[in-house]
Structure 1
Amino acid sequence: MTQTSFSYDALPMRVRFGAGSVASLPDEITRLGARRALVLCSPEQHATGEAVSATLGERSAGVLAEARMHVPVEVARRARARAAEVGADCCVAVGGGSAIGLGKAIALEHGLPVVAVPTTYAGSEMTTVWGLTENGRKRTGKDPRVLPASVLYDPDLTLGLPVAMSVTSGFNAVAHAVEALYAPDRSPVISLMAEEGVRAMAGALPAVVADGGDPDARARALYGSWLCGACLGATTMSLHHKLCHALGGTLDLPHAATHTVVLPHALAFNQPAAPEATEALTRALNTGSRALNTGSRVLDAADPARRLWDLAGTLDAPRSLRDLGMAESDIEPIADQAVSAPYANPAPVTRDGVTRLLRAAWNGEPPG
């Protein structure tokens, strides 16, 4: 351990992990002293939301299946109005970052506690970070009121997550751990969690691709996402997340897929200035995905950025912003957003450097 001075704040939440843990949801509602819960989910997760609502019985105040990526402010306003209309005194957010983000938007305005039931690997459930998108710009902030009071991690609820979405969601989780390893406010505790989170996710994703119904692989991926999400909640994110917020909020690119494409390039940008993080990621990726290869070439564990880019290719994940719908003319405006305000990053953030990073990611070129 090289850090001799640090601080670490443990977030006040309760976590229940294990197959079938969603059955304990009524107990969690009782523990909060709540009586009526509004279930939030995306339209795609409506069936799951209804199943969770049925678990609550008469404690359910209904299902609102309107969650969307990046939490458009108009969706948040409708959700806040619905919660007040049905007399909900808490929310149950079922799904990924969209549903949990919508729960946070209600908590931010009305202070209703949130119980999160993640069905993806996004990690938002572990943080006090909220985000709202209005007029093509995504605003984010931190507020302890939006932190879920309880989180139920039930691997059974992730068995139906499409394999392609599982992979990009997993890379989204890894991005949280990567940036936590070189965050200015990292601690030895978080660094351990970050390395273990990357190791678990890198090992789980190939197994999920091989068999999306493998309960052990799903449990390992959800375990990894929990650790990576905890890192997101405890540290300050840097260039990678700044770019993904700009790309998502301005261009409405798919959230997890954008993280998947940008991560290797942002990491390559920062690796020379973050040797300890690079060493930790080398260890994690070497043990997490050591059996993988790309054709006849064994994946290079000595370069974590290239290793992640190769892993994405092996798992048939997107590797180009152009393929996600970004126009080449968007590169420079996004670069301008990324350098418009100072923020912590191990390598100096320059417009030319960010432009080169984005152009490589847009072209689908190898990082570095």
Structure 2
Amino acid sequence: MTPFTYNGLPSRVIFGHGTLSRLAEEVASLGCHRVLVLSTPEQEGQARQVLEHLGERGAGIFAEARMHTPVEVTEKALPIIASLDIDGVVAIGGGSTIGLGKAIALRTDLPQVVIPTTYAGSEMTPILGETQNGLKATQRTLKVLPEVVVYDVDLTLGLPVGMSGTSGINAIAHAVEALYAQDRNPVISLMAEEGITALARSLPIIAGNPGDHDARSDALYGAWLCGACLGSVGMSLHHKLCHTLGGSFDLPHAETHTIVLPHAVAYNAEAAPEAMARIARALGNRDAAGGLYDLASAVGAPLALRDIGMQARDIDRATEIATRNPYWNPREIETDAIHRLLSDAHAGRRPTTMEAIES
């Protein structure tokens, strides 16, 4: 057995159907009496539902969360928190709202309860990415790890098919990079493979039948596992590319992860053969990169960066930003190869690895 270090993260998870009914008791257990509910403008209706469940502990709603966690949105929320004497936050939604809750916690130390309605997985991580002046910067600190996560499968039944697929593959990306992370360990690797398997099994079912309760439960379970993987080990090339494309070019988060992932995996295939074998097995495909591309196609997700707003002229600048301060990666970061990767992702080409050719 290769030596390893494993750090368990101190978060409480409530998983099931109808678990939103337990929200008030979970907030009370944190000692909170005046809680602010966070959401995007589109999910303000769900935020009001949460406020009702909180009863007298609900102090108000801030429904201005935005993609990529702009610093200016956080700064707008802070005076409201002070004026309402808030002692905790409840975030309902996906990565945008969860990111806002984390940004607030970083600055105030307020406890967080998170109610995920997508499969992004950021609720399980001590990682915050914030955007300011056209650049996205990430940091890892336990100050932003939510204290309680309430997974209610019923709240995901209305998640549109398109977002279900892309946020699910976004979650898979966390597990994929955990399998070849510099600080990987056997516990997280088991969780990663199980998470990929659960999502790869459930996402195509959801694409055909969005109301399938078993598939929705399976997908949320997989998202939890994948998020926990991202929270426990480091990120590599895929996440660096997506942070660059999202923060500097304002591309949609989940769609960007979905498109880039097969190409990042193909880039690393020869440098991480054991990880590739586990990814391929979880996908039920002989080729990890090709299997991820096929999964995206099967759920109707976009396959090309040009289809989500990236211009061909931006490839040069994206390459420069992504290679300026790269994350650790199993394969050396080569500027020309990254440019080819982004060009392939921009065009939506199916990635091909040597393993696929030889088999």
TM-score by length of 2: 0.97
1:205-244 mapped onto 2 (5 Å cutoff): 205-244=203-242
Deviation (angstroms), 1:83: 1.3
1:208: Cα distance to partner?
A: 0.7
Q: Could you tell me which residue of structure 2 aligns to residue 291 of structure 1?
A: none
2:313 aligns to what? 329
- Residue 304 (str. 1) matches residue 302 (str. 2): no
Task: State the SS of the aligned residue for 2:64.
Answer: coil
Structure 1 residues 317 and 361, CA, compared in 2 at 3 Å: closer, same or farther? same
Which residue of structure 2 lines up, in the alignment, with residue 37 of structure 1?
A: 35
In the TM superposition, 1:141-152 aligns within 5 A as 141-152=139-150
User: Once the two structures are superposed, what CA deviation does each residue of 1:186-216 show, in whole Å capped at 9, x if it has no partner?
Assistant: 1000000000000000001011111111111
Matched residue, 2:84: 86
| Residue 249 (structure 1) aligned with residue 233 (structure 2) | no
Distance in 2 of aligned mates of 1:66 and 1:342 = 31
Q: 2:304 aligns with which of 317, 320, 323?
A: 320
Aligned to 2:129: 131
Matched-pair contact (CA < 8 Å) for 2:237–2:326: no
- Amino acid across the alignment from 2:226: C
CA distance in 2, matches of 1:4, 1:172: 29
Three-state SS of the structure 2 residue aligned to 1:339 is helix
- TM (normalized to structure 1)? 0.95
Counterpart for residue 355 of structure 2:
none
The 3-state SS of whatever aligns with 1:116 is: strand
Which residue identity is paired with 1:23?
S
Deviation, 1:327, is 0.5
Corresponding letter in the other structure for 1:76: T
- Counterpart CA distance in 1 for 2:216 and 2:63 is 25
Contact 1:79–1:102 (8 Å) recurs in 2: no
C-alpha distance after superposition, 1:122-159 (max 9, x if no partner): 11100110111111001110111110000000000001
Match in the other structure for 2:335: 351
Distance in 2, matches of 1:353 and 1:82, equals: 47
One-letter amino acid of the counterpart of residue 344, structure 1: W
Equivalent residue for 2:356?
A: none
What are the within-5 Å matches in structure 2 for residues 149-168 of structure 1? 149-168=147-166
Q: Counterpart of 2:16?
A: 18
Q: C-alpha displacement at 1:342, in angstroms?
A: 3.9
Residue 164 of structure 1 deviates from its aligned partner by 0.4
1:33-58 Cα deviation digits (max 9, x unpaired): 11111000111111111101100011
Alpha-carbon distance, 1:302 to partner: 1.2
Letter in 2 for 1:193: M
Is 1:197 the counterpart of 2:195? The answer is yes
In the alignment, structure 2 segments of 5+ residues that lack a partner are 353-359
Output one character per residue of 1:311-348: Cα deviation in whole Å (capped at 9) or x when no partner.
21122110000001000010011111111014210111
Corresponding residue SS for 2:324: coil
Supply the distance in 2 between the matched residues of 1:75 and 1:225 (Cα, whole angstroms).
Answer: 27
- After the TM superposition, which segments of 4 or more aligned residues of structure 1 sit over 3 Å from their partners? none
Q: How does 1:257-296 map to 2 (within 5 A)?
A: 257-286=255-284
1:92–1:103 CA contact under 8 A, matched in 2? yes
